[in-house]
Amino acid sequence: MIKLLSGLALLCLSSASFADYHCHGSIKDRTIDDNVSISQNCQIDNATIKGNVMLYQGAQAVISNTAIDGNLESKGRFSSVLAQHNRIDGNIQLEGGQTIQLTANQVEGDIQLKKNTQKITVNDNVVDGNLQCESNLIQPIGGNNRVNGDKEGQCRRL
């Protein structure tokens, strides 16, 4: 019986540790040991995120000087994302949103930008994987991106 209760307590603690941190406002000079969910305005500066950063419907995100151990990705029609001077150990996958500006980021995986409807600017990034853009309403602009993989689709000249 004691083993069963101990196991249940451990299970409850484990599942609680996987709850997302919801950003409403700002995260500055902090470490978050979790995924970060953004569905409103959020500014992340000089932080460490030990998970993914997820943009949801209506999200407006400014992310700078931050280390993200996972991905920067969207799960809905986000409003805008400005990401500059970050280290992202995973991918940047932004789809179905509006305005995107990616400047001077170090990305260990791919940058994939698909089906976005507003201005997209991609400048001075270092990408270990591919830079892929397709079906965006407005042609992405930018340049001086160092890509170890392929530059594809609408981003082939960036």
Q: What pLDDT score does 148 carry? A: 98
Is the pTM here over 0.85, yes or no? yes
pLDDT at 15 over 90: no
Residue 60 pLDDT > 50: yes
- pLDDT at residue 1 above 70? no
Mean pLDDT value across residues 25-54: 98
Average pLDDT over residues 105-133: 99
| Res. 154: pLDDT tops 90 | yes
Neighbours of 79 (CB within 10 A): 16
For 103-127, what is the mean pLDDT? 99
Strand locations in the chain (E): 21-28, 31-32, 36-45, 48-49, 53-55, 60-64, 67-68, 72-74, 80-84, 87-88, 92-95, 99-103, 106-107, 111-114, 120-123, 126-127, 131-134, 141-143, 146-147, 151-153
What's residue 76's pLDDT? 83
Sorted by where each begins, the domain ranges of the chain are: 54-158
Q: 132-153, pLDDT tens digit by residue?
A: 999 999 999 999 999 999 999 9
- Strands of the sheet containing 87-88, edge to edge, are 31-32, 48-49, 67-68, 87-88, 106-107, 126-127, 146-147
pLDDT of residue 6: 46
User: How confident is residue 8, by pLDDT bands cut at 50, 70 and 90?
Assistant: very low
Q: Could you please report the per-residue DSSP string of 120-147?
A: EEEES-EESS-EEEES-SS--EEE--EE
